[in-house]
Amino acid sequence: MKRTKSDKFFKRAQQHIPGGVNSPVRAFKSVGGEPVFIKKAKGAYLYDVDGNKYIDYIASWGPMILGHAHKPVIKAIKKYAEYSTSYGAPTKLEIEMAELICSMVPNVDLIRMVSSGTEACMSAVRLARGYAGKNKIIKFEGNYHGHADAFLVKAGSGVATFNIQSVPGVTGGVSNDTLTVPYNDLEAVKQKVAEHKNEIAAIIIEPVAGNMGCILPKPGFLEGLRKICDEENIVFIFDEVMTGFRMSAGGAQQMLGINADLVTYGKVIGGGLPVGAFGGKRKIMEHIAPLGNVYQAGTLSGNPLAMIAGYTTLKELKDNQSIYKELEEKTIYLRDGMKKVLDANGRPYVINQLGSMISLHYSEQPVVDFASASKADIQMFNKLFHYMLNNGIYLPPSAYESWFLNNALTYEDLDNTISVLKDFLIEHS
């Protein structure tokens, strides 16, 4: 597969963009090789600047759950763009968006729109601290909550991909207020909470982890955290930037039957435009300005184009919830097909999957937390990544990322993916 134009663009990009990219994982540094520059996408397919076509398993890291350039979304954006692209004053669209979200997800009385998942998580933690009058937070090793200072301690996603142990620029003061424990380790949480009695404002978690590959919460783990939060007066924050509107119309809260106090959203919520949101119980959310003194604001928050793209996507998901069943069936089909060829090959592997999130680790032991995810054979994943890419299948360029299915994928696409995996395994047995 020729990528001469992509290679040229990458050289040119590096002249004026750090590393040639605007978000690190796109640079392919961990998998090696050079990034592919995309020209356009439609449905389940990406097309690069050299005219190559790829089956897309990233879906823009989640948002394109209905497929790329989904007609109703594009039509709505075009219509609203004619009215002007931003006002900095309230609009009816924002009310409709808030009403729609509150009607879909459990436990959200009030919701504030922002422009990214990072902003949502950062603001939710500030609110939790302001509400609780305490400073420390607990997060889980390998969970990623965006790039705000407080979260860059043992973070997943790009921070794990690039093996960055501590991030220069994050002060000791900030890091000291972030306590970390292994994912799925309830005892470790109990111990931390006991060590820091009455100091912990919030526990923030990815209810299904997607930033160290896909990792499921063990039975009882989230329930145990809920209990600790209730007993110790700690705000329980679900970071549903990845799982929100993907696991189900009501997100992981609904799918797993656990209530959080605050929830953050991003990715799917914007239908491909920059949107995030945080919301939750009224008695906590009332502390946000202008109702309360916890300050939070945004010039482009609730931007009309972002709102209509998000609204159109969420409305379709709400009205047509069979999409989730279809997506899950496709993901299970892919999982089982991959298992069949992997079993025949004999090399140890782990596939974790829930709903339309799935990942493959070349690991001999179950992958349940960051430590076990790190022990997987990354070199094998990297070889797989390039083999798939050169055969028209675009996986996330890191073993530490979940794959996201979109509903435009056909069973033919899935068969094609399994068959390329089979060829890869024959060549690498």
Ligand X SMILES: *Cc1c(COP(=O)(O)O)cnc(C)c1O
C-alpha dist (Å) from residue 330 to 4, 34, 322, 391: 34, 30, 12, 21
The catalytic position among 144, 311, 349, 362 is: 144
What minimum distance in Å lies between the beta carbon of 172 and ligand X?
Answer: 23
The secondary structure of 43-101 as a DSSP string is BTEEEETTS-EEEESSGGGTT-TT-BT-HHHHHHHHHHHTT-S--SS--HHHHHHHHHH
Question: Which of 133, 177, 130 has the alpha carbon at shortest distance from 153?
Answer: 177
Q: How many CB atoms lie within 10 A of CB 74?
A: 15
Binding of ligand X at residue 121 (CB under 6 A)? yes
> Can 144 be counted among the known catalytic residues?
yes
Counting contacts by CB under 6 A, is residue 266 touching ligand X? yes
The DSSP call for residue 315 is H
CA separation, residue 94 to residues 121, 291, 303, 310 (Å): 20, 18, 8, 11
Q: Which of 116, 253, 312, 374 contacts ligand X by CB under 6 A?
A: 116
Query: By CB under 6 A, what part of segment 316-345 binds ligand X?
Result: none
Of 6, 30, 52, 118, the one binding ligand X by CB under 6 A: 118
Q: Output 97 or 420, the one with its CB closest to ligand X.
A: 97
Least distance (Å) from ligand X to the CB of residue 420?
A: 27
Span from 139-147, 182-190, 301-309, 357-365 in contact with ligand X (CB under 6 A): 139-147
Q: Report the site for ligand X in 207-246 (rule: CB under 6 A).
A: 210-211, 239, 241-242
145 binds ligand X (CB under 6 A): yes
Annotated catalytic residue within 56, 185, 239, 261: 239
Which residue's CB is nearer to ligand X, number 52 or number 180?
Answer: 180
Least distance between ligand X and beta carbon 120 (Å):
7
Q: How many residues bind ligand X (CB under 6 A)?
A: 15
Task: Please report how close the Cβ of residue 188 comes to ligand X at its closest, in angstroms.
Answer: 20
**Closest CB to ligand X among residues 146, 217:** 146
Given the residues 267, 311, 324, 394, the one annotated as active site? 267
Is 239 considered catalytic here? yes
Q: Are 238 and 253 in contact (CB under 8 A)?
A: yes
Site for ligand X (CB under 6 A): which residue of 146, 213, 217, 279?
146
Classify 394 as helix, strand or coil.
strand
Q: Can residue 303 be called a binding residue for ligand X (CB under 6 A)? A: no
Do residues 251 and 105 lie in contact, with contact meaning Cβ atoms separated by under 8 Å? yes
189 or 214: CB nearest ligand X? 214
Residue 19 CA, distance from chain mean position: 23
In sequence order, what are the residues at sequence separation of 6 or more whose Cβ sits closer than 8 angstroms to the Cβ of residue 120? 114, 146, 241, 264, 265, 266, 276, 277, 278
Min dist CB 401 to ligand X, Å, is: 9
In sequence order, the β-bridge partners of residue 350 are: 361
Residue in 393, 387, 382 with CA at minimum distance from that of residue 53: 393
The rounded radius of gyration (Å) of the Cα atoms in the chain is: 21
| Candidate segments 12-20, 28-36, 94-102, 116-124, binder of ligand X by CB under 6 A | 116-124
Q: Residues interacting with ligand X, by CB under 6 A?
A: 116-118, 121, 144-146, 206, 210-211, 239, 241-242, 266, 276
Q: Which residues are catalytic?
A: 144, 239, 267
